[in-house]
């Protein structure tokens, strides 16, 4: 019985330690801001660029077993996700933004 309890506790702890890359991959275009915040937590920075809200999650581990980290960005328009992924946001033109992945 004790072994079962320990096994379940370890399983729960490992499942709770998902990397940011896994969490971000579960977002979808059109998802509401509230759901993004529920899944990813508070961003490190929030800013508005040409009418888009940009949520930045900085220096996060890619996976629970990874020693390397990266930045992740979520872009919203009218409270809904328009794009998301690893990297930082850049202005592509006067009316659009793109997320550029670090090399």
pLDDT at 14: 45
The pTM of the full predicted model, rounded to 2 decimals, is 0.75
**Among 43, 45, 58, 55, which Cα is nearest to 79's?**
55
What CATH class does 18-100 carry?
Answer: alpha beta
pLDDT in tens, 39-94: 999 999 999 999 999 999 988 766 566 667 888 999 999 999 999 999 999 998 98
* Backbone phi and psi for residue 19, each to the nearest 5 degrees, phi listed first: -75, 160
């Amino acid at each position: 019985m004790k072994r079962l309890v320990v096994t379940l506790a370890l399983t729960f702890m490992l499942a709770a330690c998902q990397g940011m890359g896994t969490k971000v991959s579960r977002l979808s275009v059109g998802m509401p801001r509230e759901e993004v915040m529920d899944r990813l937590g508070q961003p490190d920075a929030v800013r508005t660029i040409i009418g888009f809200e940009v949520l930045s999650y900085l220096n996060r581990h890619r996976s629970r077993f990874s020693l390397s980290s990266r930045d992740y960005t979520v872009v919203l328009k009218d409270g809904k996700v328009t794009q998301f992924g690893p990297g930082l946001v850049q202005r592509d033109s006067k009316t659009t933004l793109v997320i550029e992945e670090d090399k």
